[in-house]
Amino acid sequence: MRRAWFLALLTALPAPALAWDGTGHMMVAAVAYDRLTPAARSKADALLRRNPDYASWVANVAPADRARAAFVHAATWPDDIKGRHGYIAASEDPNAPAAMRITGYADRQEHREWHYVDIAFSPDGKRVNPPPKANAQAMIVAMRGVLATADRTADARSYSLVWLLHLVGDIHQPLHAAERVTAEMPDGDRGGNSVHVCTTSCGHNLHAVWDDILGQNLSMDAVLAKAKALPAAPAPAAAKTDPAAWAQESNALARSVVYAPPVQAEGQNFQLDMAYLQRAEAVAQSQVALAGARLALLLNTALR
């Protein structure tokens, strides 16, 4: 049955993606929701009601379950707006101060540069550049501050909340915190998006494999069940509050696990075997559980 599950996963893997699949992000939020204080839950729900998609998140949901459903769905909003009419895909200069402004829902930029902090490394000693200033790590710090500041507008705090639900998940995806620079790709591999791999067929990329390893397009009930089945995050690790440390942990996982054989330093269309994919699933489960625990601590602190 396990082999059949993996074969079904592999045949469904998509073209290049930009974040954990919605399933992974919703699982992070589900783990976090169960660890929130009653006060944080109440404040989060009040802020999420300001999001333009709130009505769709709770449509056909029983009143007692609406707060949880909205919280879990909200974790996908920064991906949901990609390509949506009225939003601007073109990124601003990520090193300009304006790229980090947090105003609220009147901001129609998609801010794709906020989803990752690609800490470059080179296995063969190539020169690497630091990440741009507007990145997932920096925005988590900035938005955590907005959320915790009572005199910021409710709109800006709501906007920060939905982004935090998403970005804490993003920064725990190893390929959102790493970019490999080689002689073949001196400008970097775009977090694995430029590394082509094969599973049951070719035409996939390494980033997309990791994004979707936990499943795709699952129902709310299936997401909640998968979240409850995750191994609990170790308490010492869950207590770490520094996004820079989170990014470094993800970067280390990318180096030691993501780019491990059968992925090589040069070449394309590496054949990913069952052992590699099982390791990837185990790492993804651990990272999602850890992200959920850390997200809960962040929100309990900011919303107390």
> How far, in Å, CA of 284 to CA of 231, rounded?
11
Average pLDDT rounded to a whole number, residues 275-288: 97
- Separation CA 57–CA 198 (nearest Å): 36
- Would you give the DSSP letter of residue 58? H
- How far, CA to CA in Å, does 41 sit from each of 44, 202, 304? 5, 44, 10
Tens of pLDDT, residues 29-76: 999 999 999 999 999 999 999 999 999 999 999 999 999 999 999 999
Among the CATH numbers 1.10.3290.10, 3.30.750.24, 1.10.575.10, 3.40.190.10, which is that of 2-302? 1.10.575.10
What's this model's pTM, rounded to 2 decimal places? 0.93
Q: Name the token pair of 37.
A: 């204080």
Instruction: Look up residue 276 and give its amino acid.
Output: Y
Euclidean distance between CA atoms 132 and 289, whole angstroms: 28
Q: Tens of pLDDT along 168-190?
A: 999 999 999 999 999 999 999 99
CA dist list (Å): 215 to 24, 26, 72, 243: 8, 11, 16, 26
State the Cα torsion 142-144-146-149 to the nearest 10°: -140
CA distance 271 to 263: 8
Contact (Cβ atoms closer than 8 angstroms) between residue 237 and residue 286: no
Tens-place pLDDT, residues 79-135? 999 999 999 998 889 999 999 999 999 999 999 999 999 999 999 888 999 999 999
